[in-house]
Amino acid sequence: MSLLPVAQAQAQLLAMAGPLAEEDTPLSQSCGRWTMREVLARRSQPAADLSAMDGYAIRFADMPGPWRVVGESAAGSHFAGLIGNNEAVRIYTGAMMPQGADTVLVQEDSAREDERLRLSGDGPESHGRHVRRAGFDFSESQPVIPSGTRLSPRDIALAALAGHGSLTLPRLPRIALVSTGSELVQPGIATGPDQLPASNAIMLQAMLGSLPCTAVDRGIVADNLDALAETFAAAAGTSDIVVSTGGASVGDHDLVKPALERAGGRIDFWKIGMRPGKPLICGRIGNAIFIGLPGNPVSAFVTATLFLLPLARHMAGSPNPLPQIGRALLDCDMPAVGGRDDYVRGTTSDGRAAPLPVQDSAATLSLARADCLIVRPAGSTQARAGDAVDIIAI
């Protein structure tokens, strides 16, 4: 079986599912999620002319005064009357302008004795000064948030001011994480010489924590074909994505492939032209997409970065779900690359990237030290210090 190129495998995986069905989502639960359509304003902001300063609402034609103060306008309690010639209304920032007024005389330029008001400074230099006109920010029915936006706290505030209490957004992808291997024990439990703390599920939960999704750890399943098949089938019944780690290769105890098939699933593709992470499995089980990641944490991290996270973003509505590719200059020479794309753990500083000295796929210390993956495409010739390379920030 020939190895599938990474880009082709990513395209096939994303084509297996689109964004999930939309649901009405309260604004308090919308931050970090993607919009699938434009958000239109349901009201104008501001809805009326407002004062931008503390002072007095006047008619500019009555400058330079004096004026008679006939009332007060505060935010939420406006002056309901009509001001006439040489009349003024005491007004505060954010308060609605009285009918008939068109300008604000700021407090610092005014002097008041009882109801008599006079100009004490330069005063407003133009008609409409210090007034926020109705709709100057946005108008009713105006698009305020584009389709494909990942909602930030600023967008949430904008949506609220635009009259929305909720937005129609794709529902959260539900992801089940299954750790496979008879040698695994839960983190923190003392291990024997032939045991290993299970680190993948907790790592994947942390990686997925930055995305709008729900990730549930289904625990550790021993290398038992029936137990794995039952777990995969049960997880598929409540999940959009089922993720296993370990057991994806071809050894006697690598049971993920036959367990998936026994559970009624199918494999769409297997084995990718990449290092680390070649034995990636992608398929379907029930209505869920199945991703079998390699067992060691380095390979699991790299394949999750390139496949699991993009799929979760895609199903959550992201228009650009693949990892962002940056550029950096190499700090040192790097050897030619063979027949698989190489994802080299490295560090960056001042626009330069350096590979870490230990690249063994079992070396998790170097994974923890890395802040990027240096991408070396299959067949690349030797790279020299100072050459530009693609990097993925991690």
Q: Going by DSSP bridges, is the β-strand pair 55-58/352-355 parallel, antiparallel, or unpaired?
A: unpaired
- Whole domain around residue 107: which residue ranges? 50-132
Query: Does residue 92 register a pLDDT over 60?
Result: yes
Domain at 71, CATH number: 2.170.190.11
Phi and psi, residue 118, nearest 5°: -135, 165
Predicted confidence at residue 1, as pLDDT, reads 56
Q: pLDDT digit string (tens) for 98-156?
A: 999 999 999 999 999 999 999 999 999 999 999 999 999 999 999 999 999 999 999 99
Q: What is the average pLDDT across 368-382?
A: 97
Same domain, 165 and 206: no
Q: pLDDT digit string (tens) for 158-185?
A: 999 999 999 999 999 999 999 999 999 9
Q: pLDDT digit string (tens) for 23-79?
A: 999 999 999 999 999 999 999 999 999 999 999 999 999 999 999 999 999 999 999
Same domain, 274 and 295: yes
> Sorting pLDDT into bands at 50, 70 and 90, what band is 227?
very high
- Say if 320 falls within a structural domain: no
Please tell me the total count of domains within the chain: 4
Instruction: Concatenate the DSSP letters of all residues of 223-277 into one string.
Output: S-HHHHHHHHHHHHTT-SEEEEES--SSSTT--HHHHHHHTT-EEEEE-BSEES-
Q: pLDDT digit string (tens) for 328-370?
A: 999 999 999 999 999 999 999 999 999 999 999 989 999 999 9
Domain at 373, CATH number: 2.40.340.10
- Say if 73 falls within a structural domain: yes
Q: pLDDT digit string (tens) for 285-330?
A: 999 999 999 999 999 999 999 999 999 999 999 999 999 999 999 9
Predicted confidence at residue 380, as pLDDT, reads 97
User: Cα–Cα distance between 311 and 213 in angstroms, integer?
Assistant: 11
pTM as predicted: 0.90
> Sorting pLDDT into bands at 50, 70 and 90, what band is 251?
low
User: Cα–Cα distance between 147 and 150 in angstroms, integer?
Assistant: 9
Rg of the Cα trace of the chain? 31
User: Cα–Cα distance between 93 and 104 in angstroms, integer?
Assistant: 10
Q: Which of 123, 153, 170 is the last residue of a domain?
A: 170
Predicted confidence at residue 291, as pLDDT, reads 98
Query: Does residue 252 register a pLDDT over 90?
Result: no
Same domain, 241 and 344: no
Same domain, 194 and 310: yes
Task: Give percent of the chain above pLDDT 90.
Answer: 97
Predicted confidence at residue 336, as pLDDT, reads 97
Q: Can the peptide bond before residue 64 be classed as cis, meaning omega within 30 degrees of 0?
A: yes
Structure tokens at 327: 């550029």
